[in-house]
Amino acid sequence: MKPKVVWLQGVTCNGNSHSFVNLSGLDTLLQRYEWLYHPILPSSLSLMQLWDAKCDILVIEGGAKKGWQKGEGELEKLFLHLAQKAKKVVAVGSCAVYGGVFKEFDDTICGVLFDGENKSRYYDMLADKTINIPGCPAHPEWIAFALEAENPSLDSFHRPKELYAYTVHSGCVRNEYFEWKIDAEDFGTKEGCLFYKQGCQGPFTHGSCNKILWNETASKTRVGTPCFGCTEPDFPKQDLFSTKTYMGIPATMPLGVPKRAYLTITGIAKSFHIPRLTKRLLDED
């Protein structure tokens, strides 16, 4: 018997559904499950039929909100009805995990286990069986991992450590510039680190964007876009394209690094001039 999956949407933009469609070898994964409901992919039931459905894995995309209409019923009721039956709940995307971007408009929107950084009203009921896959959107490989993995090791936000123990900075192709504290003077170049001026949150954001590449090809920082910290409960912060600084250095430190250690290293790194890192990369002889 194939496990039965329901993919239910709350307050969402549908970005995770579409991200999932990008999975390499999607058809092979789809065949391992019986898809009762998915908003885009082939699935057998309609929303109203879900009330009587057996559901083994419940995937939630989008935030929960009281009174939000889902089909002819109410989202929260349908969600709890299915979640109680399910053996596993996968919260996909930052809206389902923390409430997400739309929480800024309506603070009553919350995630499955978390309401921003705090535990949600469903925490006690669902903590045992819920895996959180934050990201805006979540990467399709991360979603596939959550469907397939049995009892993965989780961090305090119920995120699989295998995916979120890394920072977005790990594997970034601009790492050399970070090591020698050379900033990107502007957008639109291959050179320089985006942590110092352009607002990159990669060094303190949990995620494997530069390890498991997006669309199997790139990541934000690889195309010169700063990381906006979309896997964290405080996404989206303010002034996303500029770095807040404190006494000339970024106000938020790389994950786990004491400010004193960082200052010392910066002082030393900056005292050297590395010609290779101050030229255009492809102009190098």
Partner 1 sequence: MKIELIEKIEGEAFLDVECKKGRIKNAYVRFPHYRGIEEILRGRSPLDALVINPRVCGICGHAHLHATALALEKLVGFGPNEKVRKIREITRFCEMVQNHVKWFYLVIFTTLDLPYDFRSIQAIIQKINRLSAIFGGQWPHSSYVLPGGITCDPSVLDIVQAKRLSNQSRELLEKLLGDFELKNLSGDLRRLFDALDAKGLLYAGKSLDRFITFGNDSYVESFKILSGKKRPAKLHYIEEFSQPKSRAKGVVYKGKFYETGPLARTMQRGERFVKQLHRRYKDSVTTRIFARIYEAHLLLKKIQEHLQTLDIGMSSYEPIEIGDGEAIVAVEAARGSLVHRVCVKEGKIVDYSIITPTQWNLANGRDGEPSLIQTALQNARCEESDIIFRSFDICSVCTTH
Q: Which residues bind partner 1 (CB under 8 A)?
A: 9, 11-19, 21-22, 24, 26-27, 39-43, 46-48, 68-72, 101-102, 104-106, 136-137, 186-190, 214-225, 228, 230, 236, 238-242, 282
Q: In this complex, which beta carbon is closest to partner 1, that of residue 270 or of residue 279?
A: 279
**Of 151, 134, 150, 154, whose CA–CA distance to 142 is shortest?**
134
Q: In this complex, which beta carbon is closest to partner 1, that of residue 13 or of residue 269?
A: 13
The whole-angstrom separation of Cα 16 and Cα 27 is: 17
Q: In this complex, which beta carbon is closest to partner 1, that of residue 94 or of residue 126?
A: 94
> Least Å distance between CB 76 and partner 1?
14
In Å, what is the CA distance from 93 to each residue of 131, 173, 217, 235, 263? 11, 25, 21, 12, 35
**Of 55, 30, 232, whose CA–CA distance to 140 is shortest?**
30
Q: Which tokens belong to 142?
A: 């991360």
**Of 249, 199, 250, 245, whose CA–CA distance to 220 is shortest?**
199
> Least Å distance between CB 37 and partner 1?
9
Q: Are strands 245-246 and 249-250 parallel, antiparallel or unpaired?
A: antiparallel
Number of H helices, E strands in the chain: 10, 11
> Least Å distance between CB 99 and partner 1?
12
> Least Å distance between CB 272 and partner 1?
26
> Least Å distance between CB 136 and partner 1?
6
Q: Are strands 118-119 and 130-133 parallel, antiparallel or unpaired?
A: unpaired
Q: In this complex, which beta carbon is closest to partner 1, that of residue 45 or of residue 269?
A: 45
> Least Å distance between CB 89 and partner 1?
21
The whole-angstrom separation of Cα 276 and Cα 214 is: 29
How many CA atoms within 13 Å lie on the side-chain side of 225? Answer: 9
Q: In this complex, which beta carbon is closest to partner 1, that of residue 126 or of residue 214?
A: 214
Q: In this complex, which beta carbon is closest to partner 1, that of residue 42 or of residue 275?
A: 42
